[in-house]
Structure 1
């Protein structure tokens, strides 16, 4: 890849690099079953995730008109993480074109970092199991930094840990958390239309909205001029 001003590319994980919704749904439904609540569909979970598991759980219980106490939410979160960590790559798959683009970027010396509201250890475990962890200079999870997305500190930490330069960085994501964090950090952001968001992708306010991962290299060239 040439003719791009971006030497550092940050990627969201869930809904951007990997379709994790099937395994996230399994973990969420495990928690809901403990409270005799009906399971969520995979599509409903795709519209719920983005700000981390804890908020996903809160929103899911709110869907049934229920509010968990802090202690109950702590327990539900622990149950979710335990189930998810045991089944983290059971049904999750890379979105089409991801491995090809990552290989292209790596071979052209572009620094890459994962900037996700999934915890760092779970992110690393997933990326290792699915076979793409070696492409990234850093994996910056929600617990890697004091302030996660949409706070700009998450963006700055991911760039610094990758050895990148803010002015030459861009975020590829799928949700409002991605757009808000990129805007706060002062870097461009691309949203993938296939991702996880309750708000239509074209209404998130990204610099570009793309249909396929394979379109990213050309998009970076276009945004460089």
Structure 2
């Protein structure tokens, strides 16, 4: 029996590991309310997510009446404060995730998180969900300094370094994830159930999965010789 083809699997966080839309939406609407703006419906909030919380707020302001830099700077700290204080009220792992992590663990695969969420918030969320032991490391959008968040290859290279090297793959839900994987020279898998910021089929991922039950078989296929 051949060994599993990947030593490391990295995951995006929002829209990939966890459905964070309820709590992110509440934080955005809290900030919009401070500006006297109408709330954005949850389904619409999902389209704002990606690129980090500041970009999410910027999109929310643009869609609710326009955004200027001073307003963005003023509303960003209260958004973060609200989100941090309510980070796991409505957030849940996607169906099948824990079973997929169990399978990867049984295969000896090291797993970590690379997200554009601030590292402190990502660590806080994973801990609040009781899942810290499941991930060998968490790299946030601010971990490596300005200019080193996805779609930069830097956080994926750092993930591989921290987890001891070896062949890696990356799982996400957005073009930022696919581009980061391509820039890092690793295969990318996009989940269909996340918060895509463009049609999934146009992202150029190496594979698309509809559920976490498909993750390990898809990794096995991507790891075949010649791929």
Between stretches 206-215 and 154-163, larger displacement belongs to: 154-163
After superposition, give the CA deviation of every residue in 1:155-193 in whole Å (9 maximum; x if it has no partner): 11122122233xx10000000100111111111000000
Does the 8 Å CA contact 1:18/1:95 hold for their aligned counterparts?
A: yes
Cα distance, 1:15 vs. partner?
0.3
Secondary structure in 2 aligned to 1:197?
A: coil
CA offset at residue 2 of structure 1?
A: 6.4
Inter-partner Cα distance in structure 2 for 1:2 and 1:56: 43
Query: Which residue of the partner structure matches residue 164 of structure 1?
Result: 165
| Offset of residue 152 of structure 1 | 0.7
State the distance in 2 between where 1:43 and 1:191 align: 20
Secondary structure of the corresponding residue to residue 13 of structure 1: coil
Q: TM-score, normalised by structure 1?
A: 0.94
Equivalent position SS for 2:160: helix
- Does the Cα contact within 8 Å between 1:150 and 1:181 map onto a contact in 2? yes
Correspondences of 1:101-112 after superposition (within 5 Å): 101-112=100-111
Alignment of 1:1-80 (within 5 A): 3-69=3-69, 71-80=70-79
Q: TM-score, normalised by structure 2?
A: 0.94
1:178 equivalenced with 2:181 (yes/no): no
Alpha-carbon distance between aligned partners in 2 of 1:149 and 1:120, rounded to the nearest angstrom: 13
Please list the CA deviations of residues 104-145 of structure 1 after superposition, one character each: whole Å capped at 9, or x if unmatched.
Answer: 212322111100001111111111111222111110011111
Distance 1:65 1:39 in 2: 12
Q: Quick one: distance in 2 between partners of 1:2 and 1:79?
A: 52
SS in 1 for 2:38: coil
What are the equivalent positions in structure 2 for 1:92-171 lying under 5 Å apart?
A: 92-146=91-145, 147-165=148-166, 168-171=167-170
Unaligned runs of 5+ in 1: none
RMSD (Å) for aligned C-alpha atoms: 1.4
Q: Distance in 2 between matches of 1:140 and 1:41?
A: 30
Contiguous gaps of at least 5 residues in structure 2: none
Cα deviation, residue 47, structure 1: 1.3
